Copies of this chain bind each other. A is one copy, B any other.
Amino acid sequence: MFKAELRSDALKGLINVISTLIDEVKFTISPEGISLKAVDPAHVAMVEVTLSKAAFESYQADDTEIGVDIDKVKDVLKLASSGDIISMEQDAEHGRLVFKVGNVTRRMNLVDTSSLGDVRVPPLELAASIEVPVTDLQKGIKASESISDHIALIADSERFELHCDGDTDSVDLVMEASNTVKIDADMKVSSMFPLDYFSNLIKAVPSDLRVKIELDTDYPVRIVFALAEGNGVVKYLLAPRIEKE
């Protein structure tokens, strides 16, 4: 059983992030909230999202799993304005999920969860941790997109840097440690990542948020940010691109 009401903005934040990776996702539902883990088909990135009961306007659920087609939920979101309440209810008998927005009811077949494998997110201790406003990263990405298809993230105790190096041109975004840029790094760390994955995720983050970036040398980067005003969290892990010598 699953029956809940959520503000459209929270659902949109959730769906935007997932849709950068996959088309179908399995939500794990419990009395305390919902969660999901997903990996993209190329196994380059994975995301782990939790949304606690407190994020919802109303929430009733037993332990269950539902498989959802992300594009269909995007269609539902188009029916809602910012601030609208979206109601969701599992119709277990017909294997459907029923959304209501205003006086529109949208029923959709669930996706068979057995085709949606379980995802194991590896535990990783990363050496450096940086916290920045996402808008700065969004500008750095915008500048980088015509330059190259990969991007380096570099941090030491004093600055965080995003560096993109093309054949003829290059882009640097340099952020010095400050009140708004928090850096916790004992030594210099640096890894290179596929720009498209990094870009798609960073663009999906609402621009009024701060993101935490956990970084190490030639390790995956973990990007963490809040959903639903702190009642949810997104943890995104992106594999490095390791340069062959």
Contact = CB atoms under 8 A, between A and B. Distances in A.
Contacts of A76: 143
A175 interface: yes
Contact of A139 (B104, B109, B136): B104
A91 B107 CA distance: 56
A174 B175 CA distance: 53
Name which of A78, A102, A143, A173 has the most chain B CB atoms within 10 A of its CB. A143
A146 interface: yes
A174 B173 CA distance: 52
A105 B75 contact: no
Interface residues of A, number: 28
Contacts of A101: 139, 143
A103 B137 CA distance: 10
Contact of A109 (B78, B168, B174): B168
A16 to B, nearest CB: 18
Nearest to A171: B106
A174 B103 contact: yes
A226 B54 CA distance: 47
B136 A106 contact: no
Given A75-B146, A142-B79, A172 B109 contact: no
A13 interface: no
A17 to B, nearest CB: 22
Contact of A107 (B146, B171, B175): B171
Contact of A104 (B75, B105, B143): B143
A79 B169 contact: no
B168 A104 contact: no
A139 B169 CA distance: 40
Contact of A175 (B79, B103, B136, B168): B103
